[in-house]
């Protein structure tokens, strides 16, 4: 489907004529699951890019306003819900615009402070009442659920990569993680904690966006950024501020391991993506020996 500026302008004229005079501009990086456009100076439009992501719209519309007052950083604030129509087949959203740039190492002033700020955000998120919240499922690709969902895929990737990775160590880590589980109160998880979903202003973490993969369950899935983005010092600060148990940290490593493995096992002509995935894999496995 061609999700472009023209489509957004037509949807606005049809459903929200009060905003149809505002300029519509694509954002620099709008992710994979959704296409995002800036609307005027104070709003954004977000449309699922395919049917598997469409269910996330209603979830964000319902739950983000309930989560926001309990959190120390801004998150997306829904302003309007777009309806399916002849132009576009799924629900879509209009949000308040959040200022900031996608997190990158050159934009962060104090990396360890950034890591502890993110940890504080998650501590607050985990404290929020999760009663009635959505369980992990197809709507969020089972983030916050059991690692067993991805066992076959992980083992297949290890088999495919035999001879090019430390296969025995990867298998051992995965099997150890499978022996553990989250047996406490289910907590809210973001589900897709990547640098592109963290905003930075003046060198500091300023907002957390894209809650399409959110659910209530095991927080281990949100720990992956410790290996995908943080260095050793930041990872240590992040872990100390979260104060989660060793088993949860182990499952977090397993989530990072899974993602790195399946990326490396798939054909790709993106050398940067492959290099980053191999670095993550090596970092996750090296921590086992530290």
Average pLDDT over residues 39-48: 97
Output the pLDDT for position 28.
80
Q: ∠ at Cα 192 (77, 49), nearest 5°?
A: 70
Express each pLDDT in 96-112 by its tens digit.
999 999 999 999 999 99
Is residue 242 within 8 Å of residue 193, measured between CB atoms? no
- Residue-wise burial string across 210-243, b where 16 or more C-beta atoms lie within 10 A, e elsewhere: bbbbbbbbbbbbbbbbbbbbbeeebbebbbebbe
Contact 34, 115 (CB under 8 A): no
Per-residue model confidence (pLDDT) at position 190: 98
Give the CATH fold of the 102-287 domain. Answer: Aminoglycoside 3'-phosphotransferase; Chain: A, domain 2 (3.90.1200)
pLDDT at 243: 86
The whole-number pLDDT of residue 70 equals 98
- Can you tell me the mean pLDDT for 135-155? 97
Q: Higher pLDDT residue, 226 or 243? A: 226
CATH topology assigned to domain 5-98 = Phosphorylase Kinase; domain 1 (3.30.200)
Question: 35 with 87: CB under 8 angstroms?
Answer: no
Task: Check for a shared fold between 5-98 and 102-287.
Answer: no
The per-residue pLDDT for range 183-198, each reduced to its tens digit, is: 999 999 999 999 999 9
Domain ranges (residues) in the chain: 5-98, 102-287
Mean pLDDT of the chain: 96
Structure tokens that stand for 66 in this block: 């309930």
Q: State pLDDT tens for residues 58-73.
A: 999 999 999 999 999 9
**101, β-bridge pairs:** 200
Read off the pLDDT of each residue in 118-139 and give the average, rounded to a whole number: 97
Give the C-alpha separation, 173 to 260, whole Å: 13
Residue 10 contacts by C-beta under 8 Å, 6 or more apart in sequence?
87
pLDDT grade for 30, boundaries at 50, 70 and 90: low
d(Cα 19, Cα 33) in Å, to the nearest integer?
24
Rounded to the nearest 5°, which phi and psi values hold at 241?
Answer: -75, -30
The DSSP 8-state label assigned to residue 288 in this structure reads T
pLDDT score, position 34: 93
DSSP 3-state of 35:
strand
DSSP string covering 46-89, please?
EEESSGGGTHHHHHHHHHHHHHGGG-SS----EEEEE---SS-S
> Helix H segments across 128-245?
151-160, 167-178, 225-228, 232-242
Average pLDDT for 138-158: 97
Q: What percent of the chain has pLDDT over 70?
A: 98
| Paired tokens of 260 | 């790195």
pLDDT at position 244 over 50: yes
Binning pLDDT at 50, 70 and 90, where does residue 288 land?
low
| Torsion angles phi and psi, residue 243, rounded to 5 | 55, 40
Q: What confidence tier does 290 reach under pLDDT thresholds 50, 70, 90?
A: very low
Between 290 and 183, the higher pLDDT residue: 183
Q: Which tokens in the block code for residue 235?
A: 């990872």
């Amino acid at each position: 489907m061609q999700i472009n500026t023209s489509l957004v302008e037509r949807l606005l004229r049809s459903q929200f004529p009060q905003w149809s005079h505002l300029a519509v501009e694509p954002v620099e990086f709008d992710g994979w699951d959704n296409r995002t456009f800036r609307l005027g100076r104070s709003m954004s439009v977000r449309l699922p890019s395919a049917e598997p992501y469409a269910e996330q719209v209603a979830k964000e519309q319902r739950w983000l306003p309930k989560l926001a007052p309990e959190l120390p950083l801004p998150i997306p604030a829904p302003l309007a819900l777009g309806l399916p129509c002849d132009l576009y087949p799924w629900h879509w959203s209009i949000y308040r615009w959040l200022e900031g740039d996608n997190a990158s190492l050159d934009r962060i002033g104090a990396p360890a402070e950034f890591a502890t700020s993110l940890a504080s955000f998650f501590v607050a998120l985990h404290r929020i009442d999760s009663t009635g919240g959505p369980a992990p499922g197809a709507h969020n690709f089972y983030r916050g659920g059991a690692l067993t969902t991805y066992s076959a895929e992980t083992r297949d990737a290890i088999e495919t990569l035999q001879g090019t990775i430390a296969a025995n160590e990867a298998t051992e880590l995965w099997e150890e993680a499978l022996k553990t589980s989250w047996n406490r109160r289910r907590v809210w998880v973001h589900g897709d904690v990547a640098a592109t979903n963290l905003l930075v202003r003046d060198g500091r973490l300023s907002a957390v966006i894209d809650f399409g993969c959110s659910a209530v369950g095991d927080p281990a899935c949100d720990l992956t950024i410790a290996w995908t983005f943080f260095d050793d010092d930041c990872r240590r600060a992040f872990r100390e501020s979260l104060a989660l148990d060793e088993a949860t940290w182990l499952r977090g490593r397993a989530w990072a391991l899974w993602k790195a493995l399946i990326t490396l096992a798939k054909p790709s002509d993106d050398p940067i993506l492959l290099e980053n995935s191999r670095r993550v894999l090596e970092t996750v496995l090296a921590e086992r020996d530290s």
